Structure formats: C-alpha cells, structure tokens
Structure 1
Amino acid sequence: MNMNLYGHDGQWLMVDCGVSFNEPLTPDDLRTAEIVCADPRFITEQKERLAGIVITHAHEDHVGALPFLWRRFKCPVYTTAFTAEVLRRKLVQVGLTDQVPIIEVKANETKKIGVFNVKWLELTHSVPEPYAMTIDTPVGKIFHTGDWKIDKKPILGEAFSPAAFKALAKENILAMVCDSTNALKDGFSPSETDCYQGLLATIAAEKNRVVVGCFSSNVARLVALGQIAKETGRYLALIGRSLTNMVSAARVTGHWPEDVPIIDAAHLGYLPREEVLAVATGSQGEPRATLNRLAADNCFDLSLEADDLVIFSAMRIPGNEQAIDRLAEQFKGRKIRTLQAHETDLTIHVSGHPCREELKQLYTWVQPQLAIPVHGEPKHLDANADVAKLSHVPNQLVGRNGDLYQLAPNMSIRRQQVKVGRIALLR
C-alpha cells in the first residue's frame, strides 16, 4: 500500500496512494480489515503544501486508496491514460465523478508540479502503462522506479528498452528509489511470454473445465488466456466485476486486441466442459471473491464438477498462504483439481518484479550516487541494498516506514520522524 512523499523547498509531491486487503491495522491485532491503507495524517495536516499526486501504474497497491482519500488532499493527480481510466471508474463509485483534476501524461513527457519537474519513463511490469520517473529539483534529481522488471517479450506493450536508463548515467542521479520485491531471488524473472507458453501447455492437455485465478489488473495475463482459448478450442469468460471492469478499461485505451473475444459468463453453463475457460478473482483466498464462491458451489454463473481444474496463476502473497491452502483443500474436497505454481515445472505464473540480476543491470545503467530500497519487507530491502553495493553504488540507505530520508545537502536517515500507521477504508 504505497504512499511515498518527496519534499523540497516547503512543498511535497506524493507518489502513489495504494491499498492492501484483509490486513490487521496493528502487528499484534488478530482482527483484519477488508481494505487498509497507509495513514495519511502527516500530509493531510499540511495539505496546502501538497503540490500534486503522481500515480505510477494501475495496481491496487499504488492507486486503490486515492478515491477514498482524495477529499483530504484536493490536489491534481498526474498519471497516464490507462491508469487514469481505471482511476476515473473508481472515482465514480465513491461519488467523485468529474471532481478530481486528472492530468494525463505520456512517455518521456515532463510536467512541472510545484517545485518538482517530473519526467515519465516507460518500462515493463504486469499491467498496461507502467512508468518510472525522474523527479528533478535544484538540489538533485531522483529516479523513482515504481514496479518493474526487464521483460524482453511482454504480451502487451513494447519490450524493455535499456536506452533511456543508460542515458540517466549522464544526468548525475542523486538517488535511485527502487523496487525490492524479488531482491532475494537470483537471476532474472521469466517473461509474460514464458507464462503464456506454460499456461498453453497446461490447458491444452485438459479435457474438462478450466478456471484460472489471477489478479484482475494483469491485463497481459488475460490477453494471453484469451489467445490460449482460441488455440485450444475454448471460450473465454470473466467472472468477477473487477475483471470485466479492467478489460473494459483496456478496450477503451487500446490495450485489448480486437481478435481476442470474450463471452458473457452467463453462457458458461450451456457449454460442453471441454470448451470452458473461465478467469476468476480470488487467487489469494479472499473470502468474498469468485474462487471462494466456486469452491462453495454458490457461483451464479458456473458450477464445477469432479476432475475440473482450477489453476492459481498468481504469486502467494506472504501472509495469504493459509487462506490459499484452505481454498485449495475446499476444491479438493469436491474432487476438483487445483494447480499452483510451486506444484508444476511449467511456468503458470511470472512475477512483475525484478530479481537480483535485473536489479544489478539497472543500478549499473543508472549509476546513482545513492540507493534507497523500497517496496518489500526488511529482508528484501537489505538484499536490494546488497545488490546496489555489489553494483558499485557508493551509498545505500535502508529505512522503515516513518523514517525521513535527507538526500541533500547531506545523506542521512532520521528515524521515526513521521507518525505512520494503517487505517481501514469502507467501500
């Protein structure tokens, strides 16, 4: 649930404003809240200094809290077309239709937001239009990666291009604020095309219904499944409001191929078992999502039978393991087969985040003076800092939520300078 603040000359710039799901509000709380976000109190108490909000991409942990919190900020939002479309649909749901000033930007475009000059740099991730950015001030330039990976064969968009990031080496980047999610994993993360091939091989061998659980925002995975449906003589249907909404946003912004058809989920019950390929929400075991309803056999659009297959095409987010295993056991209790990524040699899920060799390459290309690992647990941040050091980045600063990083004129961390926490949001 990212919420980053950059400050200079009495002004602040917010980068991302996301949510998490089914999380406790405090570490020792046994209860969970359905939707949780970072407590924005620090910035709302000085909102007149907030020059703007920048959203890097359309994943819930980067954009999901903004519709709920914007009334506290009341400032312009800057993002690209696909994310803007997703955001506008969310704003309608909370009664903010046409009230939020959203400024759409394009690759390599620069916007002056208060005292900050922000430039958007295109990269690859698991959602359309993911962007890194440089944030330039008179005292230094920051490179904020957002979420990324080096994907040379993405299903959607252009392949990762090193050129723009190699060029940053000439711009004297003061600090690189970098995604740490896979910093404990060696090598490179596989491509979305590798996942397409693994899912194709898995589904082509099946004779009964196949349901795939994945994140609704992974439009590339949905396109791949649409192509697989065509190749295997099946019909693709989406079960879950967030899935249909995301595909609709992709169509509007030109990210959904015209030759990839989708049928209405209500038609699934009329098809022979071998022609059904459904995509469902709930791959993390969320109690109210479609996979849980399918396991309990109370999904209106589809009923599964013995020997049908449910594929979990998503990572097991730390903390969700028990919920996912309970869901899998519920399916198995009805003799419905399940398949998770760790149970097969075929690639049925790939991460959208960089492994150690990718981190090393980007640090080597950009050559920042300072590495600031973010987006991960403490062990991931430490591992990212280790890669930066091995990549000859002169300085590394590893902090925790609430720490204030001073980047210029001197580099330091002031521990626990900002009161932070979590708050629950209501739909």
Structure 2
Amino acid sequence: MSKTHPHRDGLVIVPLGGCGEIGMNLTLYGVAGKWLMVDCGMTFADESLPGVDLIVPDPTFIESEAKDLVGLVITHAHEDHIGAVHHLWERFRCPVYVTPFAEQSLNAKLDEAGLRGDVPVHVFENDDAIDLDPFRITPIGLTHSTLEMKALAIETRHGTVMHTGDWKLDKDPLMGPTSDEAALKAWGDKGVLALVCDSTNVFDPGTSGSESDVRRALIDLVKERPDNRIVVTTFASNVARLESVARAAEASGRAFVLVGRSLWKFYQAARAVGYLDTIKPPLTDKDAARMPRNKTLLLCTGCQGEPRGAMARVAMDDHPNIDLRPGDTVIFSSKIIPGNEKTLYRMHNAMALNDIEVISEKDHFVHVSGHPAREELKRMYELVRPELVVPVHGEARHLIEQARFAVEEGGMPAAQVILNGDVLRLAPGEPEIVSEVPVGRLAVDPAGLVVMAAAMLQHRRKLAGNGVMMIVLVVDADSELVEDPRIMLAGVAEGREMAALTNDVAVAIERELGKVNGRRPAGDDALAEAASRAARRVVKQVTSRRPLTEVEVVRLEEGEKTANESWKEAV
C-alpha cells in the first residue's frame, strides 16, 4: 500500500483518532491539496500509564501539512471532541470554528494554556455555512448529551459528506431544539456521497431514550427519600441533566448544590450563552455543609470514579465539606464506560458496606445515552440516503457491526470500515483505501506531550508493576568495595522478606564484583553493570519481579574517608 496521500486529485477522509476506539476524535478531509480538520479530542488514560491522566492524538501528519490546513471545525463541547485543541493547536495553528457554548468551554482551556489571544476562534450560529475553500460546511443541529451538537454537511467539488458527530434523535431533549430532520432530509434529496456516522451504540436495540424520561425518574427517586442526604453524579457536560437535578431539588423542597470544578465550569458556560436561566443559582459545597442533610440535593463530578473527582473524594470520606452516613443515597446518573467497571464497583462496594444506598443505571432508569441505537441509525439512513456509510466513533467491533447493519438491515448501498491512519478515497471512482499516514498517541504530562513509547513512560510502567532498586557502591582507587553496598528496595518486598532479600542482594553484588576486577581496576560502568546484573538476578529468583534498577558508583580518592569512617571518628 502506498504511503502517500492522494488528496490532491480526489476527496479523502483520514481519521487520526476515533476509529478503532471510543474517544480522541480527530478526522481530516482532503481535497484539491487542502485539508479540513473536524474535531480535536482527548481520551482518559488507564492504569497502565501511571502519572498520566489524558491522551491526545499524535498530529505529526497534519503538522507536516499545516500550511494547507484551512480550518478546524468543532462539532460540540465534549472533551473527546474539543479537549485536545489547547494541547495541539500550536502544532498546526489554524482557525478554529465553534458554537457559542463550545466557545465558552474552549476559551477556558485556552486561558489555562496561555493561548487565549493567539488562537483565532470563530463562532458560528443559526446553521450558517462556513466557506473554507475548497470546502463549504453547513452545520445541522442534532440532539446529544450536551448543548449545541452540530452535524456537518461538507460540500466539495466531488460531492457532499455528512459528518454526524455524536448524536441521537431525542423527541424531548429538554434543552435546545430537537434534531433537524428536515435539514437532513433536504441534504439527502440533494444527494450525499458518504455518511460518516457515530457507531457507539450500534449494538443497542430500539432507541436511546429521552432526557425528559430521566428527569421524571430522578424527581420520583428524590421525593421517595425525604430523610437523608442524596448525592447525584453525572457527566459534567450534560447540562440538561444538571437542570433535571435542579428540578428534582425544587420538587422535593431541597436546595440544589454543585460539587466539583468542572460542573461549575459547564454551569457558567451554559449561563453565559443563555441557558439555565430558569433555575435558582446553585449553592456551593461549603453552603451545603452548614445545612440540614435532608435539605440539600448535591450534584457531583466524577461519575466514572476518577480519583480526583468530587464523587470519589466524597465516597472515600476525603472531601473537606461533604460526607456520607448510613442511610444516605448516591445516584449514578450516568453510563458505566467500558474499562471503568473495576474502579466504579470498588467505589459502589465501599459505600454499600457503610449502609449507603447506591443506585445506578443497572438498578433504575437514571440515564439515557447521547448516542444512537439501532432504530435511530435506521432513521438517519432513511433521511440522508448516502451512497456510502463510513462508521466512526467506535472500537473495531462497533465499526464492523455498523457497516454490516447499514447494508444488511439499513438498506444502504455500501459501507466501508476504516481505522486510524487509513486514507479512504471517497471520489472520484469507487471508494477505496488507497494509502495510510502515521498515527499514534501522545500522553499529556506536566513535562509536555510525550510519545507513548517514550522511555519515561516505560519506566513508570515498570515502576508501577515491579518496583525500584537503588544501589550505591563506594569503591577505592583500585575499584575495591570499601563498605557494604547500600541497597534501597521499594515496591519489591517488605518486612522480613525485605531484610533477607537486601542481604542476599549485597552478597551477590560483592561476589560479582570480585569477578570484574582483573589486573587493572574495573571502570565505573563495568562495576555498575556487574552490580545491576547480580542484583536483578537475585530479585527475580526470589520475587519474580524485574525492578527498575539504578546503580551509582562513588569512587574515593586515595586517603579519602567514607562517610561511615568520618562519622565514627567524630563520635
């Protein structure tokens, strides 16, 4: 397969993130030598990356093409679509186009990164077209689990692509208009070359459900528990859910409380562009601490059990103002994202053991997804009637299933699965994967963006799984030990086993060093390598671990005393 990119002669789509995974969405469209970027998101790191919270796509390919990048259009304000902009923008430095609500979220990120005055941010409203030659992009309003979600009709000389972003067909979304099915149908009437479509819930039958139904369920649950503290946790970006919890508080005679920085940020962003103006201003957790426990309804961040989230701190009795007691209730008004089960169930069990009632989507109707189930996908196909369906926003199994579903059950003429880095030529001619470009992941570290294969991250993983061993050798000019090796083990053993292991390692080091010195004194590198080799061999035999090992050689000049000798003389 060619390693070039034939976008100069046709229309291509190139995902750098979001195909083969859920999250970290970044999609490129190329035509006539120019590129359009849609979304620039992040994903959360898992336990395999100690010290790393966030991961972003590697933009190396589009960085090399930055002079031909006409713009970045953001479909909506979710982190997996907007959360990498402030980390990556300096790599490609193009104009950014957002809705009013997404602008509020983006500006807060740009402020933190010191980029607010550098990034040219343009706000689009009322579904007005954006002309970025050779692309003409028309936003189309769809419902989702946050405000102002926009599908994009991308017109080119080769045809129109409908990029759905994240969506659902909620008949009563509570905030904002319903999905603009008339606009979708009108574009279908004109003719759509390809539908690039969300695959997240392709395995779910029926429809995704309505926010209005969740609101009624939350109100009932809160009213049924009048005597104790009630805490709700959900995704901070779900502004309609935030309003629903406020309505539940009002209906049950409780004060509404926000707990967590990200919730306050989204609340303020929504207020700034005209939403949430019919609810009473929420109280802070400090206010709640001074009120009777049964007179507040708290909404917390951290519904996925994030260690730094407010919900985890409350659950583990580590929050400065909010605690839980027997008889209290915690409602997880959110989906359990695959991969987070262990963390969340650990939290659920800890609270259950303290006689705290835990309610999740598994127990009650407290959450609906923001992504389309199978009947909604069929409806999208009927409206848009594309020549080709290109599944995105999903793991491989999601993409493959939507491709099958679109053709076999949705009546679509064709579907094509692509993964990150694939160059799919949509036109002219039959759709075909014609090339590939470099892709990867970058870890967001305090030191900056780090390639996932970097030695630093490898060392962290090794430390987390195997511990660390530090060895100091004090030798004389002849490379002979002048005192016992100093050995520090962490995360390898403990108690009596640690003492015995330390002694065994010291003996093995002395024995190995005796073999290194020949007629000429061994150099520092040879001594360090010999000590490391001997120590690792012993630790592996005893513990089956392979600790990260560092050896320092301290060489004394002739007549120089060791620290122990100096101390003894002083005493």
- Which category describes the TM-score, using the shorter chain as reference length? over 0.9
Matched with 2:116 is: 97
User: Secondary structure of the residue that 1:394 maps to in structure 2?
Assistant: coil
Paired with 2:85 and 2:430, the residues of 1 have a C-alpha distance of 31
- Counterpart of 1:285 (choices 305, 308, 315) is 305
Paired with 2:120 and 2:369, the residues of 1 have a C-alpha distance of 33
- Counterpart of 1:369 (choices 381, 387, 408) is 387
Matched with 1:273 is: 293
User: Secondary structure of the residue that 1:182 maps to in structure 2?
Assistant: coil
Matched with 1:153 is: 172
* Deviation digits for residues 224-261 of structure 1 (CA, Å, limit 9, x no counterpart): 11111100111111111110011000000001123333
Does residue 18 in structure 1 map to residue 41 in structure 2? yes
Offset, 1:416: 6.8
Q: How does 1:408-427 map onto structure 2 within 5 Å?
A: 408-414=427-433, 417-426=436-445
State the AA in 1 paired with 2:319: C
**Cα pair distance change 1:32/1:174, threshold 3 Å:** farther
User: Secondary structure of the residue that 1:190 maps to in structure 2?
Assistant: coil
User: Secondary structure of the residue that 2:362 maps to in structure 1?
Assistant: helix
- Counterpart of 2:272 (choices 243, 252, 265) is 252
Q: How does 1:6-405 map onto structure 2 within 5 Å?
A: 6-23=29-46, 31=50, 33-206=52-225, 207-344=227-364, 347-389=365-407, 390-405=409-424
Offset, 1:15: 0.4
- The answer (yes or no) to whether the contact 2:424–2:435 under 8 Å persists in 1 is no
Paired with 1:330 and 1:38, the residues of 2 have a C-alpha distance of 35
Paired with 1:70 and 1:256, the residues of 2 have a C-alpha distance of 31
Paired with 1:85 and 1:411, the residues of 2 have a C-alpha distance of 41
Offset, 1:391: 2.2
Paired with 1:364 and 1:387, the residues of 2 have a C-alpha distance of 13
* Deviation digits for residues 123-158 of structure 1 (CA, Å, limit 9, x no counterpart): 100111110011111011100001000001111011
Paired with 2:280 and 2:144, the residues of 1 have a C-alpha distance of 21
Paired with 1:102 and 1:142, the residues of 2 have a C-alpha distance of 24
Paired with 1:406 and 1:202, the residues of 2 have a C-alpha distance of 51
- The answer (yes or no) to whether the contact 2:211–2:241 under 8 Å persists in 1 is yes
Offset, 1:299: 0.7
**Cα pair distance change 1:411/1:301, threshold 3 Å:** farther
- The answer (yes or no) to whether the contact 1:403–1:413 under 8 Å persists in 2 is no
* Deviation digits for residues 324-376 of structure 1 (CA, Å, limit 9, x no counterpart): 111112222322221111123xx200100000000001101110000000001
State the AA in 1 paired with 2:77: A
**Cα pair distance change 1:10/1:416, threshold 3 Å:** closer
User: Secondary structure of the residue that 1:406 maps to in structure 2?
Assistant: strand
- The answer (yes or no) to whether the contact 2:243–2:279 under 8 Å persists in 1 is no
Paired with 2:385 and 2:51, the residues of 1 have a C-alpha distance of 42
**Cα pair distance change 1:364/1:285, threshold 3 Å:** same
Paired with 1:412 and 1:362, the residues of 2 have a C-alpha distance of 21
State the AA in 2 paired with 1:93: E
- TM-score of the superposed pair, with normalisation by structure 1: 0.96
**Cα pair distance change 1:392/1:222, threshold 3 Å:** same
**Cα pair distance change 1:393/1:107, threshold 3 Å:** farther
**173-182 vs 417-426, which moves further:** 417-426
Paired with 2:432 and 2:258, the residues of 1 have a C-alpha distance of 47
What is the alpha-carbon root mean square deviation over aligned residues? 1.4
Offset, 1:295: 1.4
- The answer (yes or no) to whether the contact 2:52–2:445 under 8 Å persists in 1 is no
Structure 1: gaps of 5 or more residues: none
* Deviation digits for residues 155-199 of structure 1 (CA, Å, limit 9, x no counterpart): 101123321111112111000000011100110111000110111
Number of corresponding residues: 421
**Cα pair distance change 1:360/1:244, threshold 3 Å:** same
